[in-house]
Every structure is written in C-alpha cells, then in structure tokens.
Amino acid sequence: MSTNEVPESERVIFHVDMDSFYASCELRDKPEFRNRPFIVGADPKNGRGRGVVISCNYAARKLGIHSALPISKAWELCPDAVYVRPNFRLYEEVSKRIMLILKKFTPKVEVVSIDEAYLDMTHSIREPASESTNETSFRIWNSEAIANRATRIKEEILISEKITCSIGVSNSKIVAKIATDTNKPDGLIIVMPEKVKDFLSPLQVGKIPGVGRVTQQILQTEFGITTIGDLSKSDTQKLLERFGRFAFWLKRVAEGRDDSQVEEGWQPRSISAETTFEEDESDFSKVVAAMRGVALDVYERLNEEGYEFSNIAVKIRFEGFETHSRQKALASPSRSLEILIKDSEKLLSEFKNSGKKVRLVGVRVSGLRKVSSEQASLLEWSGSL
C-alpha cells in the first residue's frame, strides 16, 4: 500500500473548535473581565432590552445563560454580567488568522464556520512502522505524536490570538466533532479507532450533531433509545418507518461509521442580518424601511467578501415570538442591491395584512459564489447595482 492509500479506518481527523469564540475575541483586550460573566449580544437596557445573547463565556453559562437566550432573560439571571455589543468585523479578522495557523499544520483544512474546522492530519503525522527500509510502511495512529501535534496547535492559537480551543481527534469527522463537544473548554480528547464504539456507546443520543431535542424525545419515547449505544442496537426498519432515509445516517453514526472527506477550502453557506425593534412595531411601512437597512448590511458584506447570491430569504417575528420565513431562488446569480431589496420587499409583503405587531425582521442570502474582479467590474459598469 502506498503512503497515499490509507484505509478509512486509519485516517487521523482533527476537529478544532474555538471556545466561546465571540466572547473570547472580546476578552482578549478585556482580561479584567475574564472571570466575570461576560455576554455578547443586544443591549439589555436594565432588563427591558430586546434581541438575544449571541455568545457568552463559561462563567455566564454556569448561570444558565446561552446563545439565543432573550437578552432580557439573561439580565434577569445575571444583571451584574458584563454586556457588550458584537463586533463581527473583529471576529472575522481573528478567524482568518486562526485558519492560517491551522493550514501551517496540513493543507487539508475544511473551514465549516467562523470558529470551527476539520483537519486531515493522516499524512502529516506518520512514523515508520519499524526500522525496515520499506518506505511505504507507516504507523499512522501514534497517540503520543497526535497529542503533541494537537497541543502545538492549541499553543500557537493561544500565543497568537489569546484564545483557547478544544480539539477532538478520531478516524472520522463525526466522531472527532462529538469528541470535541464532550470536553470543553480548552479540551483535548483522542479516540483511537479501536475505541470508537466504546467511546460513543454511553453518550446521550443528543450528542450526535443534528439530533435536536425533538428527535431525541421521539427516540426516547417511541423507541426507548437514550444512548448512542441503544441506537446502534436498534431496529433499522422501525427507524426507517419513522425517520425515512435519515435513519440510515443515524445508524451509521451510532456505529462510528463516517467516510466523509475533509474538503479543502470553504465558502459561507449564507450571509444574513436582522434587527429587533425597540417596541413591537404596528406600522408596516416602518418594518419595510428597517428591512431595507438590513438588506443593505447584507449587501455590504457580500460586496466586501466578493460574493454573488442565488437565493433570498426574509424572516419576520411577530409579538409572542411567532416566526415565519419566505424565500426565493433567482433565475441566475446576482450581486445587485436593487434585486436584493426588491425581492425582499416582495417576500415581506405577504405579511402586510397580518394585523400583528412585528418584533424582528431579517434578510438572508445563500447559494453564494465568489466573483472575480473582472466580473465584478463588468457587473458594476453594466448598472446592475
């Protein structure tokens, strides 16, 4: 077997996840708040604020605060926390530098979000299996070498950006990610190939990415499944009747099987923005005006990053947190502000006569594709903007 032909079961996959990334970025320059509950999100306004928590440190999490929690509830739980508004430009800059650090260790880096990446280290951590002269014989899974490499990654990120990260290592992406999530913050856990099933078996099924509270409840109440081990032994046919093809994926994960590759490079799946009104808004013309401002924010980020879009979606949240969304696929990719605003207004108009007050409005574009500088110049010259 050549050095490039490694069995799937022998791959070495790192999952690297920044700890409380947005909050950690802010705390780099605010070390005096590091041990206090620290929350990134909307202005709490002494408990009357609107919007949600975007990120918080672990001191805040111990008090029951988490992302997406209404900011008023966060204030109720901890009025003495430090509250700051988000600085997304800062987070993007820090993320870019971190991803460059990761690429020093292997060219095979898949960036899956602003603070998370997979690294295929299979051909970056190799030792001769023996002292023979057979150059194609390698021992891939050397736990000491893997731990040393992971520790170096953690140290470089900490020294460079003053941010801790957690790393999970296994022979597949899904198990590496699950490993990371079981040992945060500042964790490192290595799951050897022969130990994958033993590692997964006692974990709650909710530890599987993509298995939310609803799915977890169905598995428990209808099938008596509470752990991943239970899931691995369950009747596939019965799961198929309830979940369809999703059942096959669930079973594969429960058995520790995942052959998905680390895909080099990354483009964001979508770019979005939203705004929450100070008071629930009954004047729909003001809702539309706010939506235009949000669309402009999205457009500026698109332009800055050099993307065009193929899909537009709007989100509207009424009083009482009743939330709806509508979307549209374009006939061809665009980077036109006019199209973005016009189609967003058309999607939003469906809710004009709802008779309900509006709490929040948002715009999202997806189906993103990089535009070359030549294409961008031509599109702007032709008046598409």
Domains of the chain, each with CATH number or no CATH: 8-20+90-196 (3.30.70.270), 26-86 (3.40.1170.60), 201-254 (1.10.150.20), 270-381 (3.30.1490.100)
Tokens standing for residue 258? 């995942």
The mean predicted confidence, pLDDT, of the chain is: 87
Most confident of 61-70, 122-131, 197-206, 329-338: 197-206
Query: Mean pLDDT throughout 129-144?
Result: 58
Model confidence at 45: pLDDT above 60 = yes
Q: Is the pLDDT of residue 164 over 90?
A: yes
**What pLDDT does residue 124 have?**
82
Predicted pLDDT at 68 = 79
> Residue 345: CB partners within 8 Å, gap ≥ 6?
288, 291, 292
What is the β-pairing status of strands 188-190 and 165-170? parallel
CA triple 180-186-189, angle to 5 deg? 40
For the residues 118-147, what does the mean pLDDT come to? 70
User: Which residues are tagged catalytic?
Assistant: 116
Residue 329: φ, ψ to 5°: -95, 130
- Least confident interval from 9-23, 50-64, 260-274, 332-346: 260-274
Closest CA relative to residue 315, chosen from 267, 282, 276, 342: 276
pLDDT band at 378 (very low <50, low <70, confident <90, very high): very low
pLDDT score recorded for residue 376: 41
**pLDDT tier for residue 5 given thresholds of 50, 70 and 90:** low
pLDDT confidence tier of residue 373, bands split at 50, 70 and 90: very low
Q: Is the pLDDT of residue 184 over 80?
A: yes
Report the pLDDT value the prediction gives residue 78, as an integer from 0 to 100: 95
Residues 6+ apart with CB under 8 A from 336: 379, 384, 385
Is residue 382 scored above 50 in pLDDT? no
Query: Does the pLDDT of residue 135 top 50, yes or no?
Result: no
pLDDT confidence of residue 125: 77
The answer to whether residue 167 scores a pLDDT higher than 90 is: yes
Percentage of the chain beyond pLDDT 70 is 89
Q: How far apart are the first and last CA of the chain?
A: 55
Nearest CA among 326, 324, 319 for reference residue 276: 319
In the chain, pLDDT over 90 holds for what percent of residues? 57
- pLDDT on residue 263: 85
Is residue 137 very low, low, confident or very high in pLDDT (cuts 50, 70, 90)?
A: very low
* pLDDT classification of 4: cutoffs 50, 70, 90: low
pLDDT tens digits, one per residue of 292-326 = 988 988 888 888 778 899 999 999 999 877 889 99
| Model pTM score | 0.72
How far is residue 265's CA from residue 146's CA, in Å, rounded to a whole number? 23
Decide if pLDDT at 270 tops 90: no
Q: What pLDDT sits at residue 279? A: 84
pLDDT of residue 377: 38
| Per-residue confidence band for 24, with pLDDT thresholds at 50, 70 and 90 | very high
Cross-strand bridge partners of residue 312:
328, 365
As a whole number of angstroms, the distance between CA 15 and CA 188 comes to 10
Comparing 85-99, 125-139, 263-277, which segment has the lowest mean pLDDT? Answer: 125-139
Contact 166, 183 (CB under 8 A): yes
Lowest mean pLDDT among 181-195, 259-273, 356-370: 259-273
Structure-model confidence comparison of residues 150 and 319, the more confident one: 150
DSSP string covering 328-360: EEEEEEE--HHHHHHHHHHHHGGGTTS---EEE
Cis, bond preceding 7 (omega within 30 deg of 0): no
